[in-house]
Amino acid sequence: MNKSQSLMFLLLLFGLYGNSQSNNLTGSPYSLFGLGVESNSGTGRNSGLGNTGISLDANYGINLYNPAAFATLKENEITFDFGGSAELTNLTGGDANEQRSNYNFTNISIAFNHNNDYGIGLTLKPATNVGYSLIGLENNIEGSDEQFTTNIGGTGGISELRLDYARTFFENFNVGIKASYLFGKIEESESIVTSNSYLEIIETNYYGGAQFGLGLQYKLLDKHNFGFTMDLPTKLKGTKDVFVGKYSNSAYSTLEETEDESIDSFYLPLKLGFGYSTSFKNLLLTADYNKKFWSATNQSDAIGDYVDQDIFGLGASYAVDPTSYKYWKRVDFRMGLNYNSGYLEVDDTKINTYSASFGIGLPIGKRSLVNISYTLGKKGTTDSILIEEFVNTLNVNISLSDLWFQKRKFN
């Protein structure tokens, strides 16, 4: 594929990404809280390893879990990484049971290592996802026997455009930095229906802001790998558009329409991450711990409280012989476990998540891979007024290097 075809394909992916952002990207009712549910987007290898990767290099493609990993990309080789996910969610709460499905892009990334001097990459990916609906809420009109029905829905989310840069400063010691611009909109629509009238309220919130981060990686004795990441706290400034319309007596009228009205900023907390990995022949073991200091943002929400968040991940992968000429000996098998305490507390109950993942990396040529993973997660609880979710997620990710971008030599 030549350069112009590659560029057209990249533009097509960005177009598809924009289309996906206009649809429901999650089926979780917890996306009603804050800016939505956190996206677990990343490269396909990481999702099959329990969302770990702080200490891992870029031997299996772009690693978005630590900017320092960009220094380990193969010399003078361009890597193009993109993927998507599909979710099937079963919701349980009270006497209700519901099933929802949705799809989303996980990332579109391109990276390059220049003469082993530095590695650099550009990524577009979702940061949060919103997709909730409350349908058919019936109430009586005060002083009357007549009822009205309320329907509420929310869509959208926050996207992240991210630039990574990394260098090797000392032997086996890599340092990386990242600069991100977070942007997006969250739209909530509410309709109130009676026997002879219809009222609709559409509120669209827009957010934007920059965030910076740091990553370190160190290899000890060619066996022990350590990683550290830090995302600095920041705020996302917001504005909103409001539209209120009413249909009554066979006529529609606009009651209110405002644009670019200032709203409270949303604060993102300090995040620290620690990772360790080691190898025993062809078996890789990896572990990550992340902490987000949400309580320091001093924010509140009508639904619940922001609390500090702890995330633990464990992963393992095995390939019979990564350097073999036999295809199946180079296939990488993966599994992982993850626990996320969540940052939302409702009625003194944390909305936490447990998940288990299985994955496989299928080689294409010498350096390219198709990564496939399946994750089963449990989020929330049926205690009190809460909802319990069982989420089935299928991730498919393609990492292309020498297959498309390697220069061919002719005699």
pLDDT in tens, 316-339: 999 998 888 888 899 999 999 999
Confidence of residue 210 (pLDDT cuts 50, 70, 90): very high
Q: Which residues pair with 156 in a beta bridge?
A: 130, 186
In whole angstroms, what is the distance from residue 266 CA to residue 410 CA?
56
Question: Is pLDDT above 80 for 213?
Answer: yes
What pLDDT sits at residue 4?
46
- pLDDT tens per residue, range 241-294: 999 998 887 788 888 889 999 999 999 999 999 999 999 888 999 999 999 999
Nearest in space to 9 (alpha carbons), one of 71, 67, 80: 80
Q: Which residue has the higher pLDDT, 305 or 229?
A: 229
Which residue do the tokens 């999702």 mark?
47
Tokens of 99: 């099933």
Smallest Cα–Cα separation from 109: which of 354, 395, 400, 396?
A: 400
- Find, among 322, 319, 324, the residue nearest to 334 by Cα: 319
Quote the pLDDT of residue 7: 45
Nearest to 176 by CA among 55, 288, 293, 77: 55
The model's pLDDT over 139-196, given as tens digits with 9 standing for 90+, comes to 766 766 777 788 888 889 999 999 999 999 888 999 999 999 999 999 999 888 887 8
Q: Who has greater pLDDT, 254 or 296?
A: 296
Confidence band, pLDDT 50/70/90 cuts, at residue 6: very low
The residues, any chain, with a CB within 8 Å of residue 180's CB and separated by 6 or more, are: 160, 161, 162, 163, 210, 211, 212, 213
pLDDT of amino acid 61? 84
Q: Which residues does residue 211 pair with via DSSP β-bridges, in sequence order?
A: 180
Distance CA 325, CA 204 (A): 55
**Percent of the chain predicted with pLDDT > 90:** 48
**Confidence (pLDDT) at 405:** 44
Q: Report the C-alpha gap between 250 and 252 in whole angstroms.
A: 7
Neighbours of 325 (CB within 10 A): 7
Q: DSSP class of residue 407?
A: P
Would you state the pLDDT for residue 3?
Answer: 47
**Residue 86 Cα distances to 127, 208, 282, 341, 394, angstroms:** 16, 27, 30, 23, 5
pLDDT for 255 equals 86
In sequence order, the β-bridge partners of residue 188 are: 154, 203
Render pLDDT for 355-385 as a digit per residue (tens, 0 to 9): 999 999 999 877 788 999 999 999 887 776 6
For every residue of 188-246, DSSP letters joined together read: EEEEEE-SSEEEEEEEEEEEEEEEEEEEEEEEETTTEEEEEEEE--EEEEEEEEEEEEE
Whole-structure pTM value: 0.86
Whole-number pLDDT of residue 408: 52
Higher model confidence: residue 354 or residue 22?
Answer: 354
**Mean pLDDT of all residues in the chain?**
85
Is the pLDDT confidence value at 406 over 80? no
Most confidently predicted of 89-103, 239-253, 305-319: 305-319
C-alpha–C-alpha distance, residues 131 and 129, integer Å: 7
pLDDT of residue 402: 61
C-alpha to C-alpha distances, 361 to 203, 219, 324, 396, nearest whole angstrom: 43, 24, 15, 10
Contacts of 199 (CB under 8 A, 6+ apart): 191, 192, 193, 244, 245, 246, 247
- Looking at residue 366, what is its pLDDT? 76
Position with higher pLDDT, 9 vs 360: 360
